[in-house]
Amino acid sequence: MQKRVFIIHGWDGHPQEGCFPWLKKELEKNCFVVFNPKMPDPPHPKINLWVNFLRQQVGVPDRNTILFGHSIGAQTILRYLESLNKKEKIGGVVLLAGWVHLTDEAYEVEEDREIAKPWLETPLNWNKIKSCANKFIAIFSDNDPLALFSDSKIFKKKLGAKIIIEHNKGHFSGSDGIKKLPSALKAVLEMSEKNK
């Protein structure tokens, strides 16, 4: 079976942002089929819209499927896993600057608080999420201005995620100048090896 990776960008992001084009190219060199879709209405992400769109992109989930999400893309993946039935399971998940809480700096305008509210206040069924993937890796930056660094403890406790700490990478956005991220590539390759 072909190994597939889906790269899910973040809020107001796009497929060509930051390290995504580099990661796609590197994974393709390693014989992955990589999907890097533009999510619907990126400036106004909505849970149902994004989760349903991801479901359509993935089709039938299997152990050769790895999901990679940045910021609200990571949240989308968690909520997608929560929606799977008990028999559906994927190979693994890489969460880049994933969050369950946000700092006040995340809100550039008042409308942002309304957009973020459902993502922050709709509970996650952590046990269900954990049961739908073989492995979780979460990558954080020690100076992320938007996602709380303490969320790394939540991902470790609730999902058994392996935590990787990067230094001075901000929110890993295009505006942070992150064009390559070897730890992200290594995380995906590690998952692929585990699922052989």
Average pLDDT over residues 159-180: 93
Whole-number pLDDT of residue 171: 95
**What pLDDT does 176 receive?**
84
pLDDT at position 98: 97
Per-residue model confidence as pLDDT tens digits over 61-119: 999 999 999 999 999 999 999 999 988 999 999 999 999 999 999 998 999 999 999 99
User: Could you give the angle at the alpha carbon of 192 between the alpha carbons of 188 and 195, nearest 5°?
Assistant: 140
The sheet carrying 92-96 orders its strands as 33-35, 4-8, 65-70, 92-96, 136-141, 162-166
The CA distance from 5 to 91, in Å, is 10
Mean pLDDT, the chain, as a whole number? 95
pLDDT at 2: 85
pLDDT band at 26 (very low <50, low <70, confident <90, very high): very high
pLDDT(180) > 80: yes
CATH number of 4-194: 3.40.50.1820
Percent of the chain with pLDDT over 70: 98
Nearest-5° angle of CA 19, CA 25, CA 28?
Answer: 135
Number of helices (H) and strands (E) in the chain: give both, helices first. 7, 6
pLDDT band at 195 (very low <50, low <70, confident <90, very high): low
- Say whether pTM exceeds 0.75: yes
Residue 179's pLDDT band (cuts 50, 70, 90) = very high
pLDDT band at 194 (very low <50, low <70, confident <90, very high): low
| Structure confidence at residue 193 (pLDDT) | 77
Contact 74, 119 (CB under 8 A): no
pLDDT band at residue 42 using 50, 70 and 90 as cut-offs: very high
The CA–CA distances, whole Å, from 182 to 17, 19, 121, 124 equal 16, 9, 33, 29
